[in-house]
């Protein structure tokens, strides 16, 4: 067997790299970071590089922007490149270590424009972040966009807390929902992980 | 902000690439594939490139080997590079598409040497595989190795079935457990995602 693939990679699209050049070095508030994140999600779906999802990794104490990711499933051809996995992987690449919670280093926050799907909740757990900030956790994402979050544990916030991760819900909720609504109104969008569900538009 | 990372990648280690050159083009049975997978997991922990975990993507009907992955957390520095994510990403890279279940193509199986953690169960869901074969799903992995599987949904097999994925449990169970036992007996192993749990050795 010499035709097996031996590596894989994912790259932010050029529009995102250009846009991120305008990002501040740090955000003063979670609200400001979420506004940037939500805008990034909107730009991603408008550019057709992936779904309407974005995520940031921040230093918890300072708001320093460590990484920014968008959903890259369509652009990378890799189904696991959801925004959270991309942001966490880019943070780990930049810092040169898999553990964002390693002793002696600043604590990190993962900020996302909605509740992570089952895969991304796990990815957050194994990344070393100690705080997750989300715009919301209700059914709006699935209802408006047709995406499936998968079998998230019924008590996922308690399960996160049990493993040292605090979850804060409801930052920038209305603006996040508006992006899902815009996406849901499209008739040409690819819902690439909606197994067992159907589009609602 | 010009110092943000804009791409990430993961590579199979050289020992794995050499070893995979000896792999058959296809496996006659799930048992034969699991024996190969379990051996790959053992080699991975012996080489210190990651935990004692490996995964294969196979064409379901023919047993054709599409990709092979090992846990690369330590080698890649990316916490999401569990064996399943690596194998699925390598399969998608080789085939040039994110959906391994795309219409008009052979159906695919993900074969792993134990129940996937919460992240990898989600990764399987979004990959397009329609069948998962595992050596076991009991507490042996966590007890013997100290790794945490995370908050897997209590009815995860039913949740998979509901989304079109059949799960088969118990192929090559004893050999898989033996690898976890060997790993657990090490005193120098890095348990890199054991948040909230403690080593048992």
Read off the CATH number of the domain in which B97 is found: 3.40.140.10
CA atoms within 13 A on the CB side of A164: 15
CB B48 within 8 A of CB B28: no
In angstroms, the CA B119 to CA A44 distance is 23
How many helices (H) and strands (E) would you count in chain A? 8, 6
Residue B151 domain flag: yes
Q: How do residues A136-189 score in pLDDT, each as one tens digit? A: 999 998 889 888 899 999 999 999 999 999 999 999 999 999 999 999 988 777
Q: Quote the pLDDT of residue A1.
A: 60
pLDDT in tens, B24-49: 999 999 999 999 999 999 999 999 88
For residue A159, the SS3 value is: helix
Q: Which of B12, B73, B97 sits opposite A6 (nearest CB)?
A: B12
**Where residue A200 falls among pLDDT bands split at 50, 70, 90?**
very low
The answer to whether B106 faces chain A, any CB pair under 8 Å, is no
Residue B195 is assigned to a structural domain of this protein: no
Contact check, Cβ <8 Å, B119/A117: no
Residue A14 lies in a domain: no
Positive or negative, the CA dihedral B73, B180, B70, A163 is negative
Q: Give the range of the structural domain holding residue A112, as residue numbers without chain letter.
A: 26-183
pLDDT of B50 reads 87
Contact assignment for B159 to A150 by CB distance below 8 Å: yes
The answer to whether residue A21 sits within a structural domain is no
pLDDT tens-digit series, residues A39-84: 999 999 999 888 899 999 999 999 999 999 999 999 999 999 999 9
ipTM at complex level: 0.94
- Is pLDDT at B92 greater than 50 in this prediction? yes
Q: Beta strands A108-112 and A131-134: pairing type?
A: parallel
Residues from chain B that touch A127, judged by Cβ atoms under 8 A, are 79-80
* pTM, full prediction: 0.94
- Total domains, chain A: 1
DSSP A103: T
Could you report the per-residue pLDDT of B166-198, keeping only the tens digit for each? 999 999 999 999 999 999 988 777 776 655 433
């Amino acid at each position: 067997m010499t035709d097996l693939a031996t590596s894989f990679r994912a790259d932010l699209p050029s529009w995102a790299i250009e846009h991120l050049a305008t990002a501040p070095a740090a955000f003063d508030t979670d609200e400001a970071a979420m506004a940037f994140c939500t805008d990034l999600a909107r730009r991603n779906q408008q550019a057709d590089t992936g779904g309407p999802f974005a995520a940031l990794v921040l230093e918890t104490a300072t708001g320093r922007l460590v990484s920014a990711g968008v959903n890259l499933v369509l652009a990378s051809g890799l189904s696991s490149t959801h925004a959270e996995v991309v942001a966490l992987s880019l943070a780990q690449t930049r810092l040169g270590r898999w553990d964002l919670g390693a002793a002696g280093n600043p604590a990190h926050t993962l900020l996302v424009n909605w509740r992570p799907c089952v895969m991304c909740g796990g990815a957050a757990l194994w990344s070393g972040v100690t705080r997750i900030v989300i715009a919301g956790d209700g059914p709006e994402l699935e209802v408006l966009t047709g995406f499936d979050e998968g079998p998230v544990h019924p008590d996922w916030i308690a399960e996160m807390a049990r493993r040292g991760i605090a979850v804060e819900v409801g930052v920038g909720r209305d603006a996040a929902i508006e992006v899902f609504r815009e996406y849901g109104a499209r008739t040409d969008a690819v819902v690439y992980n909606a197994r067992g569900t159907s589009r609602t538009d």
